[in-house]
Structure formats: structure tokens, C-alpha cells
Amino acid sequence: MSARVTRSSRSSRAFAIIAGCAVVILIAAPWWAGRADMRLFSEIFLYLSLACLWNLLAGYAGLVSVGQQAFVGFGGYVLFGLAIFWGVSPLFALPIIAILGVLVAVPVAALIFRLRGAYFAIGTWVVAEIFRLLASQISALGGGSGTSLPVSVVKSIASSRATRESVVYWTALALAILVIITTVFVLRSRKGLALTAIRDNELAAGSLGVEIWQTKFIVYVLTAGLTSAIGALIFLQKIRITPDAAFSVNDWTAFVIFMVVIGGIGTLEGPIIGTLIFFVLRETLADLGTIYLMILGLVAIAIMLFAPKGVWGYVKSRYGIELFPITHRVKFEEE
């Protein structure tokens, strides 16, 4: 009997084809979707990216941050700063912002990694609040009341509004694909196996040679960089930024946690499914006003009670399927 190890499965191959078709259809959206739909899709892509990154952070590395709005806001403010002070074109600024996000995350991590558990969570939130206060002190960017992107900068993306909206849409789509592909590559790598081990049992992971601190640090700064780029794109789409909007714990962390938890934390598929569920609920129930928020709460409670590992956790344990080729399967072959 011989054996071989594979990572792709029938479900992951099927999903790759479906996802490929979906991407082609989504790229063509400017030709078949309305303006409002494209704005909605962009928002979904951006939230999808935030959810995947928060899942990597909290679901895998065990870094339960409630302060990712620090990097969303940072990205937004740096975009406005670069554009207003130095006339940097917004799209060109995105990779710069990602790198700056990584650089800012290094000292932040050095500080908050000293904290454990709930203290870590509170620490991340405090850092985000400090970022918000700092942003509100920048009078050239409107201080506490914020500012708008100058028309000239907006026009530099594309002169017509329709093209501009398409460009922002495509960038959001590209960023979501980049985040998902990065996550897949990270999780398939040797470090990804280490990270998955940390997810399941830190004590055992350390005893088997996994550098816990270093692995968490890499995940933290990587997600910070990508989160900053997403933040930049969020506020490029909004064209206006204020400290309260940029560093909103509700918008950039609470909703994201909801998506990841109902979808299934600690799986790659979970945040994707969670984001879709969230937007389906929001789009069908938003007219109900506050009742909508209560329904979100009830959904969260129901999922925690009946499927504590989230929708995908339930599907996975029930049917054993996987959409991305991450886990190893041993195939035994009779000779």
C-alpha cells in the first residue's frame, strides 16, 4: 500500500471554477449593474476583505482585536494627507499606505503584545482611540469635523464620474481577491500550518517548534497593512473623512466580528459566508430601522446557540467539504 498527500478536493476544484466565473461576471459589472448596485458590491468587497483579515487575526492567531478601526482610519487619513499635501494620486497611494500600515503596526504590536486576553482587546481599542484623537488634531485635514478630497484629486482618477466609479469598484474587487489569495497562500505555507496549530492549541504548537510570538507578530503587521489599504479605499469611495467615521468601532470592527462569527471563525470560508449573510440581512431588512439591528442580534444569538462554530463550521463538520485547498488529505492506493 502506498500513499500520497493531496490538498485539493472535488469541492475545492468545483469552487475554483465557480469562483473564476463569478470573478469574470463581477469584473464586467460596470456593463450590467447600476450605480447603486456597484456601490453596494464595492462595500461588500471591502467588508469581505476586512472580515477575512480579522478572521486571520482573531480566528487563527488568537489576537482578538477590537481596534482594527485604527488601521482603517489610518489608511483613510493617510490617503487624504498624501493627496491633499503632496498631490499623490489615490490609486498609486494604496501600496504606499499598505507599507505605512505595516510600519505603524510594528511599534503598536510591540506595545500591545505585552497584554493578554481581554487586556489585549482593550489595548487595541485604546490604540484606536488614540489614533482618532491624533487625527482630530490635524487641523489641515479639518480637525474634528474632517475634510473632503479636493475635486482635482478626485478628477485625477478619471475625468468622468462613471469611469471613476468603475475604477473604484474594480480596485475594491482586486483588493478583495488579493486578500483572499494572500490568505490562501499564507494558510497553505509552512507558516500557515504553524498558524493553524496556534489556532487549535498554543501550548502544543510551542512545544512542537512553532514560534508563537513571531508568528502572531507577522500576522498582526500583515493584516494591519492590508487593513490600512482597505481603509484608504473605503474613504476614497466616500470622498469625505471625519475622525468619528474613520475610527468607528461599530462600522469597522463590530459588524466585521458579527460577519466572522456567524460565518464561522477560524475557517477561510466562514468570513466570506458571514459577509454575504450580513449583506442579505441588511439589504432585506434595512427599511425596518432599529428592528433590523435587533434581528441581527437575534441571528447572532441563534447561531451561537445552535451552531457555535458558525454556519460554515456547521456545514464543514456535517459534510466535510472545503472550498479552498488548504487541508492535507492522505490518499491510500492499493498496489
Partner 1 sequence: MNAVLSISSLCKSFGTVKVADAISFDVPMGQSLGIIGPNGAGKTSLFNLITGTLRADSGSIKYQGIDVSTNNSATRCRAGIARSFQIPQPFTAMSVFENVLVGATQGAGLTQREAETVCLEILTQTGLVSRANDLAGALTLLERKRLELARALAANPKLLLLDEIAGGLTENECQSLVATINDIKSSGITIIWIEHIVHALLAVVDRLIVIDFGQMIADGKPKPIMNSRQVREIYMGLDADA
Q: Which CB, 126 or 218, lies closer to partner 1? A: 218
Residue 242's CB is within 10 A of a number of other CB atoms, namely 23
Give the distance, in angstroms, between the CA of residue 4 and the centroid of all CA atoms in the same chain: 34
Q: Which CB, 195 or 224, lies closer to partner 1? A: 195
Q: How many residues contact partner 1, by CB under 8 A? A: 26
Q: Which CB, 3 or 36, lies closer to partner 1? A: 3
Q: Pairing state of beta strands 240-241 and 147-148?
A: antiparallel
Minimum CB distance to partner 1, residue 213 (Å)? 8
In eight-state DSSP terms, residue 289 is: T
Minimum CB distance to partner 1, residue 264 (Å)? 11
Give the distance, in angstroms, between the CA of residue 288 and the centroid of all CA atoms in the same chain: 27
Q: Which CB, 155 or 329, lies closer to partner 1? A: 329
Minimum CB distance to partner 1, residue 126 (Å)? 28
Q: Which CB, 24 or 203, lies closer to partner 1? A: 203
Q: Which CB, 197 or 236, lies closer to partner 1? A: 197
Minimum CB distance to partner 1, residue 109 (Å)? 18
Minimum CB distance to partner 1, residue 194 (Å)? 5
Q: What is the C-alpha to C-alpha distance for residues 281 and 52, in angstroms, rounded to an integer?
A: 19
Place of cell 466572522: 260
Q: Where are the alpha helices (DSSP H) in 144-201?
A: 151-157, 161-188, 190-200
Minimum CB distance to partner 1, residue 57 (Å)? 17
Phi, psi of 8 (to 5 degrees): -85, 155
Q: 143 to 162, contacts with partner 1 by CB under 8 A?
A: none
Q: What is the C-alpha to C-alpha distance for residues 93 and 235, in angstroms, rounded to an integer?
A: 13
Cβ neighbourhood burial of 282 (10 Å; 0-12, 13-18, 19+): middle
Q: What is the C-alpha to C-alpha distance for residues 62 and 211, in angstroms, rounded to an integer?
A: 14
Minimum CB distance to partner 1, residue 249 (Å)? 29
Minimum CB distance to partner 1, residue 317 (Å)? 9
Site string for partner 1, 190-229 (x = CB under 8 A): x--xx-xx-xxx-xxxxxxxxxxx----------------
Q: What is the C-alpha to C-alpha distance for residues 65 and 69, in angstroms, rounded to an integer?
A: 10
Amino acid at 215: T
Site string for partner 1, 245-274 (x = CB under 8 A): ---------------------x--------
At residue 211, the 3 state secondary structure works out as: coil
Q: Which CB, 220 or 235, lies closer to partner 1? A: 220
Q: Which CB, 205 or 272, lies closer to partner 1? A: 205
Q: What is the dihedral of CA 75, 77, 81, 84, to 10 degrees?
A: 110
Q: 8 to 47, contacts with partner 1 by CB under 8 A?
A: none
Residue numbers at the binding site for partner 1 (CB under 8 A): 3, 5, 190, 193-194, 196-197, 199-201, 203-213, 266, 327-330
